[in-house]
């Protein structure tokens, strides 16, 4: 699927923070179908049991994909926080393998948004998914005196023009 845009990265977010020494530094792309996608990998330090990623860390990526899916459709100025997230673990999520995350906005109103997010292996096998509901809030309502635009300060240009996911 073709990439139509790139989203910004933050300073310290665990998933996308470029200055976070223990973060994943994931990059997110707006896709031609209105979804958002990322190609990423967990490392051995992210395991719960040998050969599998901790379920909470898989859920963390799914949660990040939720907001990113909202941004793919409504722009990065729209902010919100998770109200609920129902995660379905289908198969063990491996570490030290390239994975693909995908998120799509299912429904949006002036106050709420519903997203579906998924993590696949490179063979197109769905490993874990989530249905999320966000409440849209202004940055001041989320974190007081934090400047969200200053935190989301990195726009990292690259040559990614397509992300292939065999389904």
CA-angle at 14, arms to 10 and 17, nearest 5°: 25
Record the tokens describing residue 143, joined without a space: 């974190």
Record the tokens describing residue 1, joined without a space: 């699927």
State the Rg of the chain over Cα.
15
How far apart (Å, rounded) are the C-alpha atoms in residues 142 and 139?
Answer: 5
> Which residue segments constitute the domains of the chain, with CATH numbers given?
3-151 (3.10.129.10)
Record the tokens describing residue 59, joined without a space: 């859920």
Per-residue model confidence as pLDDT tens digits over 106-135: 999 999 999 999 999 999 999 999 999 999
How far apart (Å, rounded) are the C-alpha atoms in residues 59 and 3?
Answer: 24
How far apart (Å, rounded) are the C-alpha atoms in residues 75 and 157?
Answer: 18
Chain position carrying tokens 């223990």: 22
pLDDT at 150 over 80: no
The pTM is what? 0.93
How far apart (Å, rounded) are the C-alpha atoms in residues 128 and 91?
Answer: 7
Per-residue model confidence as pLDDT tens digits over 28-40: 999 999 999 999 9
Per-residue model confidence as pLDDT tens digits over 45-99: 999 988 899 999 999 999 999 999 999 999 988 888 999 999 999 999 999 999 9
pLDDT tier at 166, thresholds 50, 70, 90:
confident
pLDDT, residue 154, reads: 78
Instruction: With CA atoms as reference, report the closest residue to 103 among 65, 57, 61, 64.
Output: 65
């Amino acid at each position: 699927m073709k990439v139509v845009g790139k989203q910004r990265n933050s300073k310290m977010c665990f998933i996308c923070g470029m200055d976070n020494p223990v973060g994943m530094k994931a990059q997110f792309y707006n896709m031609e179908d209105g979804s958002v996608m990322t190609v990423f990998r967990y490392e051995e330090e992210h395991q719960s049991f040998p050969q599998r990623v901790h379920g909470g860390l898989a859920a963390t990526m799914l949660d990040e994909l939720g907001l990113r899916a909202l941004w793919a459709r409504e722009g990065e100025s729209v902010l919100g926080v998770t109200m609920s997230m129902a995660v379905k673990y289908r198969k063990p999520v491996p570490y030290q393998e390239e994975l693909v995350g995908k998120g799509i906005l299912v429904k949006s109103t002036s106050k709420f948004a519903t997203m579906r997010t998924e993590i696949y292996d490179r063979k197109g096998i769905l490993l874990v998914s989530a249905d999320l509901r966000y409440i849209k809030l202004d940055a001041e309502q989320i974190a007081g005196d934090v400047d969200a635009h200053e935190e989301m300060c990195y726009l990292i240009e690259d040559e990614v023009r397509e992300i292939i996911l065999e389904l």
